[in-house]
Amino acid sequence: MSFSLNLKVRDYECDMQGIVNNAIYQHYLEHARHEYLLSRGLSFAEMTRQGVFIVVVRAELDYRKSLQAGDEFQVTVKAVRPTPVRPVFEHSILLDRDAPAILRAKITCTAVNDAGRPYAPAQLAVLIDG
Model pLDDT for residues 45-85, shown as the tens digit of each residue:
999 998 889 999 999 999 999 999 999 999 999 999 888 89
Sequence-distant (≥ 6) Cβ neighbours of residue 128 within 8 angstroms: 79, 80, 81, 87
Domain 3-127 sits in CATH at 3.10.129.10
Is residue 114 scored above 90 in pLDDT? no
Delimit the domains of the chain by residue range. Answer: 3-127
Catalytic option among 15, 62, 71, 96: 15
| Number of Cα atoms under 13 Å in the Cβ half of residue 10 | 6
| Number of Cα atoms under 13 Å in the Cβ half of residue 43 | 5
For the chain, give me the number of helices (H) and strands (E)?
2, 6
62 is catalytic: no
pTM: predicted TM-score of the whole model, two decimal places: 0.92
